[in-house]
Amino acid sequence: MSRPHRLGLFAVSAAGLTALLLWGVAGLPDFGHYRGPYGFVLNASAPGERHVTNVVAAVVFDYRGFDTLGEEFILFASVMGVALLLRDVRDGAGRRGDAMRSDAVRLVGLGFAGVLLLTGLYVVAHGYLTPGGGFQGGVVVAAAFVLVYLAGEYRGYRRLTPIVVMDVSEGSGAGGYAVIGIVSLLLGSAFLHNFGPLGTGGTLAAGGSIAFLNVATALEVTAAFVLLFTEFLEELSAVRAGARS
């Protein structure tokens, strides 16, 4: 196909797409004019039924907890796949030391790692009070560990995140989520149905089993992201060692 033809085809399809988009956006309900009943029902009932102030957490870890179970295992399976593929290819070659020479980068990086870790734990712990939760907070905690590596402390990073501990955390996070669901069954209700004391709304001691599922998710997500990064990193240093020899 020649250039004018391609440009002509692009012009026609771009015009069509633009028209469709504008039509669709024009038909959207106004901001703040949500039409469905589901959100209103949840907003009205979740704080009273589950004593949580972040309705999103109540949906993710309670009313739609089963969906989150699936998501947990998607992450678990994909990180497991990466680990299986990369660990098999690598044969322990390519250990390397700390390459960072700038004291300023090291100081700032390590200083922020502590702040980031605390922020991540805060986001996890307050998941059912304010926006956040196990998934978002878990990634922030994992990022704090990665920052230790980026500050040039490779050995420190590996000492903070031993692969065995990360493997166990990932498995027990994903498995623990399912076990909490089975505890619901043993207590005579539906799978993943909320149990435990509901506590006082607006405090950390609230939400029943939402808190446990939140922590299980945080454990799984933190370990999954750290493992993913470590596998890539080890692969990189193995390739570099191979290139040198």
Residue pair 225/144 in contact by the 8 Å Cβ criterion:
no
| Residue 225 engages other proteins in binding (rule: CB under 8 A) | yes
Instruction: Return the range that interacts with other proteins (CB under 8 A); candidates 69-77, 100-108, 125-133, 197-205.
Output: 125-133
Q: Could you give the CA distance from residue 143 to residue 148 in angstroms, rounded to a whole number?
A: 9
| Residue 123 engages other proteins in binding (rule: CB under 8 A) | yes
Residue at token pair 């619901």: 184
Site for other proteins in 12-71 (CB under 8 A): 30-31, 54, 56
Q: Could you give the CA distance from residue 9 to residue 63 in angstroms, rounded to a whole number?
A: 47
| Residue 176 engages other proteins in binding (rule: CB under 8 A) | no
Instruction: Return the range that interacts with other proteins (CB under 8 A); candidates 106-114, 166-174, 190-198, 235-243.
Output: 235-243
Which residues have a Cβ under 8 Å from the Cβ of 102 and sit 6 or more positions away? 152
Q: Work out how close the CB of 155 gets to other proteins at its nearest, in angstroms, rounded to a whole number.
A: 19
Site for other proteins in 130-149 (CB under 8 A): 131-133, 135-136, 139-140, 143, 146
Q: Could you give the CA distance from residue 87 to residue 20 in angstroms, rounded to a whole number?
A: 47
User: Can you tell me whether residue 35 is helix, strand or coil?
Assistant: coil
Site for other proteins in 60-119 (CB under 8 A): none
Q: Could you give the CA distance from residue 40 to residue 27 in angstroms, rounded to a whole number?
A: 21
Query: Which residues form the interface with other proteins (CB under 8 A)?
Result: 30-31, 54, 56, 123, 131-133, 135-136, 139-140, 143, 146, 225, 228-229, 232-233, 235-236, 239-240, 243
